Amino acid sequence: MSRDEEFLISVNKIIQGNIDNSDFSITLLHEELCMSRTVFYNKIKSLTNCSPIDLIRQIRLRKAAELLLTRRFKVYEVMFQVGFNDEKHFRHLFKKQFGVTPVEYQNDSGNRISQSQI
């Protein structure tokens, strides 16, 4: 495993460990990794082709989608579990990433699952 892969695994573990913390920020992330903000930003950008804030957001939204597919939680519960406090903002970002609202995603999960199994 390369150093870059190890770095990305560490970043992912830290984000996952703080996924429900709405106050989790890039500052906390780069400090936990003992890196300067500039070096951290440049490394994330070069490895993932997105900014650190976008990376955190993508990981949170993917986790939200995963939780919605379980159908065990309401949308607002998932929203808090992945660190969002504003439902309108969460819906907007979710729709931007997945093309449907969280409710539509959750309601259509049966079709999505059965189609992927065919």
In Å, what is the CA distance from 100 to each residue of 48, 83, 117? Answer: 24, 20, 21
79-82-24-11 Cα dihedral, nearest 10 degrees: -150
pTM of the model: 0.87
pLDDT digits (tens, 9 = 90+) for 69-114: 999 999 999 999 999 999 999 999 999 999 999 999 998 865 554 4
Under CATH, domain 3-117 is a member of which superfamily? Homeodomain-like (1.10.10.60)
Domain locations along the chain: 3-117
| Radius of gyration from C-alpha coordinates of the chain | 16
pLDDT digits (tens, 9 = 90+) for 54-81: 999 999 999 999 999 999 999 999 999 9
